[in-house]
Amino acid sequence: MVRLELDVQVAMRDGTKLSTDIWIPDDAPAPVLLVRTPYGKHTVPVLGHPLLPSFFAALEAGYALVWQDCRGTFGSSGIFTPMVDEPSDGTDAVEWIREQPWCNGTVGTFGPSYLGFTQWATASQRPPGSTPWCRW
Protein backbone atom coordinates (compact mmCIF):
# COMPACT_ATOMS: atom_id res chain seq x y z
CA MET A 1 0.00 0.00 0.00
CA VAL A 2 0.98 3.61 -0.49
CA ARG A 3 0.06 6.68 1.53
CA LEU A 4 -0.57 9.84 -0.48
CA GLU A 5 0.00 13.40 0.76
CA LEU A 6 -1.24 16.08 -1.63
CA ASP A 7 -0.32 19.75 -1.94
CA VAL A 8 2.26 19.79 0.85
CA GLN A 9 3.83 23.26 0.92
CA VAL A 10 7.63 22.96 1.10
CA ALA A 11 9.50 26.15 2.05
CA MET A 12 12.56 27.17 0.06
CA ARG A 13 15.45 29.16 1.58
CA ASP A 14 13.80 32.48 0.62
CA GLY A 15 10.40 31.50 2.06
CA THR A 16 8.79 30.64 -1.28
CA LYS A 17 6.55 27.59 -0.90
CA LEU A 18 6.47 24.86 -3.53
CA SER A 19 3.42 22.62 -3.85
CA THR A 20 4.42 18.99 -3.50
CA ASP A 21 2.65 15.62 -3.79
CA ILE A 22 4.18 12.63 -2.01
CA TRP A 23 3.59 8.89 -2.42
CA ILE A 24 5.00 7.03 0.59
CA PRO A 25 5.26 3.22 0.68
CA ASP A 26 4.05 1.45 3.82
CA ASP A 27 7.51 0.00 4.42
CA ALA A 28 9.15 3.45 4.62
CA PRO A 29 11.73 4.78 5.23
CA ALA A 30 12.52 4.32 1.56
CA PRO A 31 14.72 5.76 -1.18
CA VAL A 32 13.02 8.71 -2.85
CA LEU A 33 12.64 9.78 -6.46
CA LEU A 34 12.03 13.49 -6.99
CA VAL A 35 10.38 15.03 -10.04
CA ARG A 36 10.25 18.84 -10.30
CA THR A 37 7.99 20.18 -13.05
CA PRO A 38 6.68 23.48 -14.41
CA TYR A 39 3.89 21.58 -16.22
CA GLY A 40 1.78 20.74 -13.16
CA LYS A 41 2.49 17.88 -10.79
CA HIS A 42 -1.03 16.53 -11.23
CA THR A 43 -0.52 15.97 -14.98
CA VAL A 44 2.05 13.17 -14.73
CA PRO A 45 0.46 10.42 -12.61
CA VAL A 46 -2.60 10.15 -14.86
CA LEU A 47 -3.60 7.54 -17.40
CA GLY A 48 -1.92 7.91 -20.76
CA HIS A 49 1.06 10.01 -19.64
CA PRO A 50 4.41 8.68 -20.98
CA LEU A 51 5.96 8.70 -17.48
CA LEU A 52 3.20 6.52 -16.03
CA PRO A 53 5.03 3.16 -16.47
CA SER A 54 8.11 4.56 -14.70
CA PHE A 55 5.89 5.97 -11.97
CA PHE A 56 4.30 2.58 -11.22
CA ALA A 57 7.62 0.72 -11.55
CA ALA A 58 9.21 3.00 -8.95
CA LEU A 59 6.31 2.49 -6.54
CA GLU A 60 6.46 -1.29 -7.03
CA ALA A 61 10.22 -1.22 -6.40
CA GLY A 62 9.61 0.41 -3.01
CA TYR A 63 10.52 4.02 -3.77
CA ALA A 64 8.74 7.00 -2.30
CA LEU A 65 7.85 9.52 -5.01
CA VAL A 66 7.90 13.29 -4.65
CA TRP A 67 6.35 15.43 -7.42
CA GLN A 68 6.84 19.16 -7.05
CA ASP A 69 5.54 22.16 -8.99
CA CYS A 70 8.40 24.52 -9.84
CA ARG A 71 8.40 28.00 -8.35
CA GLY A 72 5.63 30.20 -9.71
CA THR A 73 3.76 27.36 -11.43
CA PHE A 74 0.42 25.79 -10.55
CA GLY A 75 0.21 25.42 -6.74
CA SER A 76 3.62 26.93 -5.97
CA SER A 77 4.20 30.53 -4.92
CA GLY A 78 6.81 32.87 -6.36
CA ILE A 79 7.60 33.84 -9.94
CA PHE A 80 8.58 31.31 -12.59
CA THR A 81 11.70 32.46 -14.40
CA PRO A 82 12.86 29.47 -16.44
CA MET A 83 16.13 27.94 -15.26
CA VAL A 84 16.98 30.65 -12.73
CA ASP A 85 15.83 29.19 -9.40
CA GLU A 86 16.13 25.48 -10.24
CA PRO A 87 19.59 24.92 -8.69
CA SER A 88 18.68 26.34 -5.27
CA ASP A 89 15.07 25.09 -5.27
CA GLY A 90 16.16 21.58 -6.26
CA THR A 91 18.81 21.55 -3.55
CA ASP A 92 16.32 22.80 -0.95
CA ALA A 93 13.84 20.12 -2.04
CA VAL A 94 16.47 17.36 -1.69
CA GLU A 95 17.48 18.65 1.75
CA TRP A 96 13.83 18.81 2.87
CA ILE A 97 13.19 15.27 1.61
CA ARG A 98 16.23 13.90 3.44
CA GLU A 99 14.86 15.34 6.72
CA GLN A 100 11.55 13.47 6.39
CA PRO A 101 10.98 10.27 8.41
CA TRP A 102 9.83 8.40 5.28
CA CYS A 103 13.18 8.98 3.49
CA ASN A 104 16.09 6.57 4.05
CA GLY A 105 18.57 9.32 3.15
CA THR A 106 18.86 8.57 -0.58
CA VAL A 107 17.24 10.89 -3.11
CA GLY A 108 17.29 10.45 -6.88
CA THR A 109 15.46 12.19 -9.70
CA PHE A 110 13.92 11.39 -13.06
CA GLY A 111 12.10 12.94 -15.98
CA PRO A 112 12.61 14.29 -19.52
CA SER A 113 12.73 17.76 -21.04
CA TYR A 114 12.49 20.58 -18.46
CA LEU A 115 12.17 17.89 -15.76
CA GLY A 116 15.61 16.73 -16.92
CA PHE A 117 16.95 20.27 -16.72
CA THR A 118 15.79 20.55 -13.10
CA GLN A 119 17.90 17.46 -12.40
CA TRP A 120 21.03 18.93 -14.00
CA ALA A 121 20.48 22.17 -12.10
CA THR A 122 20.10 20.36 -8.79
CA ALA A 123 23.03 18.03 -9.46
CA SER A 124 25.25 21.05 -10.17
CA GLN A 125 24.88 21.96 -6.48
CA ARG A 126 25.84 18.44 -5.30
CA PRO A 127 23.32 18.18 -2.45
CA PRO A 128 24.24 15.50 0.12
CA GLY A 129 22.36 12.22 -0.24
CA SER A 130 21.47 12.72 -3.90
CA THR A 131 22.76 9.74 -5.81
CA PRO A 132 20.93 8.34 -8.84
CA TRP A 133 19.99 10.88 -11.50
CA CYS A 134 17.99 9.62 -14.49
CA ARG A 135 17.78 12.22 -17.27
CA TRP A 136 16.32 11.51 -20.69
Expressed as residue numbers, the domain containing 115 is 2-135
The pTM of the whole model exceeds 0.75: yes
Each of the 136 residues of the chain gets a pLDDT tens digit; together they read 899 999 999 999 999 999 999 999 999 999 999 999 999 998 766 656 677 788 888 999 999 999 999 999 999 999 999 999 999 999 999 999 999 999 999 998 888 888 888 888 888 888 777 665 555 4
How many domains would you assign to the chain?
1
- Residue 24: which CATH number? 3.40.50.1820
Long-range contacts of 96-101 (CB under 8 A, 24+ apart): 96/10, 96/11, 97/32, 97/34, 97/66, 98/128, 98/129, 101/28, 101/29
State which amino acid sits at residue 28: A
Tell me if 98 sits within 8 A of 129, measured CB to CB: yes
Q: Are 12 and 19 in contact (CB under 8 A)?
A: no
Do 81 and 91 meet the contact criterion of CB atoms below 8 Å apart?
Answer: no
